[in-house]
Amino acid sequence: MSDARERILARLRLVPGAAPPAGTVPPAAPEATIPPTERVAQFRACLEAVRAQVHVAPVADPAPLLRRLVAERGIRRLLYGADGPLAPVLRAAFAGVDGTVLVPYDASIESWKEDLFYGIDAAVTSSLGGIAETGSVILWPDAAEPRLMSLVPPIHFVVVAAGQIHATLDEAMRVQRWAERMPTNALLISGPSKSADIEQTIAYGVHGPKELVVIVTA
Amino acid sequence: MASRSDFGRRVELALGSTAKRANIARAMYGLQHKRLAAFPDRAALESLRDAGEAIKRRALARLPELLEQLEASCRRNGIEVHWAETVEDANRIVLTILRGQGARSLIKGKSMVSEEMELNRALEHEGIEALESDLGEFIIQLAGEGPSHIIAPAVHKSRHEVSALFGRMFPDLPRREDIEGLCATAREILRRKFFAADAGLSGANFLVAETGTIVLVENEGNGRLCTTAPGVHIAVTGIEKLVERMADIPPLLKLLTRSATGQPITTYVNFISGPRKTAEKDGPREVHLVLLDNGRSRMYEDPELRDSLRCIRCGACMNHCPVYVRLGGHAYGTVYPGPIGTVLEPQRTGLDRLGELTEASTLCGACGEVCPVRIPLPKLINRLRFDAVRTDGGPTSGSGRRRTGREALIWQVWARVHRSPRVYRLWLALATRLRRLAPRRIAGWSDARELPRPAARSLHALARERGFCDE
């Protein structure tokens, strides 16, 4: 197919006047400005508007809140990243808790796909922060907290540090230097899975998680 | 009048489908309001549109070199890039990848380019099951129909029709009439398919040359499942989806989701920059990107028609088009309906076959006003009308093929009359004095309209009488 490549590029290169207009700087898109003190509130309002649940913890430790939320939902098998940043906190939080077992995502998907699809009640992940303007959680899934954690189980708990909530996506990309170091997969998650494909009426929990529970820590 | 064309017959059929029309119109008015509410500040919207237009213009101006940069970035990331001149080439590439994997089934996220390729049919012909997983696409695939809207493919169906369809196709499952219940049914059926599928396919909303990233926007999670759960991910898209830098994404994303459905953002925005790395535990082991030309490089040649390549496929032009809102997408008989379809499809297929679409427009301008990247759609529709009747050839295939001697003669006479003040005055005098001789019926035109009758006195005469000067 390299012939196709050459022919397509040759046709495009032939076009007169399509050369780069040197030195043209596009107008900058208007940026929303949200003061740091209002970011958590805006983040929360946007997420709640699409039926995500947001809990703001007064402390840096998400454990007490998470333990309560997990117990309220009667979650028996909770998936977590054994090498993820939350691992020590989670192991301590659920040690000796009756009824909830922490399941580590510690093997490649092929070896336990069925259990992941049909045997896990919920997953808990960390995040790289959030975006106030749109109520989005930023995730860069990796070896420690793989991609399917935030997608396959019916409930997704995610921990967001209040200090890492940026005003806009543009700001988050700049501060986190996305362009220089894109991971295999980067994600913005803004609510539980939904669809409006039938009669333009929103229904939640179509293919992804039915519940998104966001825990904002101080 | 000549016998009805295929388009004419489809229009008649669409106009007669009252229930379907009501479903579409209700949805479109809803989307118009949602878009309006998503852009409360007019000035901010206009500067955002300026930015969107500039980003796409800049990317198109450097298209060949950016495509090469994209290819190099993707390679570095481990994404294999394929080039396809035609839909046949693209289908063959997908088939070869699937065969190489021994794949028997393909689960698909929403992709209009795969509709353009008629991929499902091509694969089924080769014994590979291609299953749509977007709820709307799943519904129309079950019904054996094509999408009637690029964003909301099943918008013409009511919940009751969907319920009856599910009941017919899955008689063992409990029958649900409510929308949440119908979604739950689809979730259950498709979960098993996601679990078992050998390969996944998606489109792409944006490609970032700088980083070699495929950006996918969706609400359901099916797009993420298609691109994460199976062992292979194939993305098919047009060469025009390219942007230069990651920093170009935020404004375009904002324009796309707000223009399309009035959402500040979709539930998921997925940035894919490579297959599973060594230590990673999930994600596809192979990622392929198929870049489709299929006439796009020809559109690129014409400085005016090139504007159509800025399209980010938000669907706002159809949501606001008085013709689309009354007909729905099926009447167009094309992959892309509405104003953008009216511009793209005749360029893709030829003005001889689809030039008639350009006449199904009042040139009211709504599409151009809402387009997030300022594609001058009314101007392009007009331009294609001109191409369809021009005698000096044109860049689009089938140029000049809609020219008829009678129409050409009428316009020549019209032009002659208006070029000379003397002839014009004579014509005016005749038209007012002999107005009773004006025809009462003109085939086609007067079927559904009253013909205007010339007035007893011309506007010129009336104005002169009131003291307005001619000069």
Predicted pLDDT at A25: 54
pLDDT at residue A24 is higher than 60:
no
Report yes or no: B204 and B180 within 8 Å, Cβ to Cβ: no
| 3-class DSSP assignment, residue B199 | strand
Bridge partners, A79 (sequence order): A103, A123
What fold, for A34-217? Rossmann fold (3.40.50)
Return contacts of A56-61, CB within 8 angstroms, 24+ apart: A56/A162, A56/A216, A57/A215, A57/A216, A57/A217, A57/A218, A58/A218, A59/A217, A59/A218, A60/A161, A60/A217, A60/A218, A61/A89, A61/A217
Can you read off the two tokens belonging to residue A20?
């780069």
**With contacts defined as CB-CB under 8 Å, which chain B residues touch A136?**
265, 269
Can you read off the two tokens belonging to residue B174?
């409990």
Nearest to B238 by CA among B368, B347, B117: B117
User: Hey, are the CB atoms on B267 and A208 less than 8 Å from each other?
Assistant: yes
**With contacts defined as CB-CB under 8 Å, which chain B residues touch A179?**
210-211, 245-247
- Taking residue B261's Cβ as centre, other Cβ atoms within 10 Å add up to 23
Radius of gyration of chain A (CA): 21
pTM beyond 0.90: yes
Predicted pLDDT at B2: 43
Edge-to-edge strand list for the sheet holding B213-218: A165-166, A130-131, A136-139, A185-189, B268-272, B213-218, B206-208, B242-243
Interface of B with A in 228-247 (CB under 8 A): 228-229, 239, 245-247
Nearest to B351 by CA among B393, B309, B320: B393
**With contacts defined as CB-CB under 8 Å, which chain A residues touch B306?**
18
Report yes or no: A131 and A166 within 8 Å, Cβ to Cβ: yes
Nearest to B387 by CA among B305, B308, B321, B318: B305
Q: Is residue B303 classed exposed, middle or buried when 0-12, 13-18 and 19+ CB atoms within 10 A define those classes?
A: exposed
| Residue B333 CB partners (closer than 8 Å, separation 6+) | B6, B7, B10
Distance CA B264, CA A135 (A): 9
What is the β-pairing status of strands A194-195 and A101-104?
unpaired
User: Hey, are the CB atoms on A142 and B280 less than 8 Å from each other?
Assistant: yes
The mean of the pLDDT values for chain A is 93
Predicted pLDDT at B1: 37
pLDDT at residue A1 is higher than 70:
no
Please report which residue ranges of B62-151 form alpha helices under DSSP H: 63-77, 87-101, 112-117, 119-125, 135-143
**With contacts defined as CB-CB under 8 Å, which chain B residues touch A134?**
264-265
Distance CA A35, CA A132 (A): 10
Nearest to B202 by CA among B114, B80, B100: B114
Nearest CA in chain A to B300: A12
Distance CA B455, CA B432 (A): 6
DSSP for B227-265, written as a single string: HHSSSEEEEEEEGGGEES-GGGHHHHHHHHHHHHHS-SS
| Rounded mean pLDDT, A62-80 | 97
Dump pLDDT digits (tens) for A50-62. 999 999 999 999 9
Q: Is the model more confident about B63 or about A31?
A: B63
B213 and chain A in contact, CB less than 8 A: yes
Given pLDDT bands bounded at 50, 70 and 90, which one contains residue A27? low
Report yes or no: B7 and B360 within 8 Å, Cβ to Cβ: yes
Q: How many alpha carbons fall within 13 Å on the CB side of residue A53?
A: 14
pLDDT in tens, chain B (471 residues): 345 689 999 999 999 999 999 999 999 999 999 999 999 999 999 999 999 999 999 999 999 999 999 999 999 999 999 999 999 999 999 999 999 999 999 999 999 999 999 999 999 999 999 999 999 999 999 999 999 999 999 999 999 999 999 999 999 999 999 999 999 999 999 999 999 999 999 999 999 999 999 999 999 999 999 999 999 999 999 999 999 999 999 999 999 999 999 999 999 999 999 999 999 999 999 999 999 999 999 999 999 999 999 999 999 999 999 999 999 999 999 999 999 999 999 999 999 999 999 999 999 999 999 999 999 999 999 999 999 999 998 888 999 999 999 999 999 999 999 999 999 999 999 999 998 888 888 877 788 888 888 898 988 889 989 988 766
Predicted pLDDT at A18: 59
Predicted pLDDT at B445: 79
Q: Residue A192: what residue type?
A: P
Can you read off the two tokens belonging to residue B232?
């292979």
Distance CA B176, CA B191 (A): 18
Q: Is residue A111 classed exposed, middle or buried when 0-12, 13-18 and 19+ CB atoms within 10 A define those classes?
A: exposed
- Taking residue A23's Cβ as centre, other Cβ atoms within 10 Å add up to 5
User: Hey, are the CB atoms on A205 and B183 less than 8 Å from each other?
Assistant: yes
Given B61, B139, B213, which is nearest A20 (Cβ)? B61
Predicted pLDDT at B468: 87
Looking at the complex, report in whole angstroms how far the Cα of residue B38 sits from the nearest Cα belonging to chain A: 12
| 3-class DSSP assignment, residue A197 | coil
Q: Domains in chain B, please, with CATH?
A: 1-38+305-403 (1.10.1060), 58-294 (3.40.50.10420), 408-465 (no CATH)
Nearest CA in chain B to A47: B267
**With contacts defined as CB-CB under 8 Å, which chain A residues touch B65?**
20
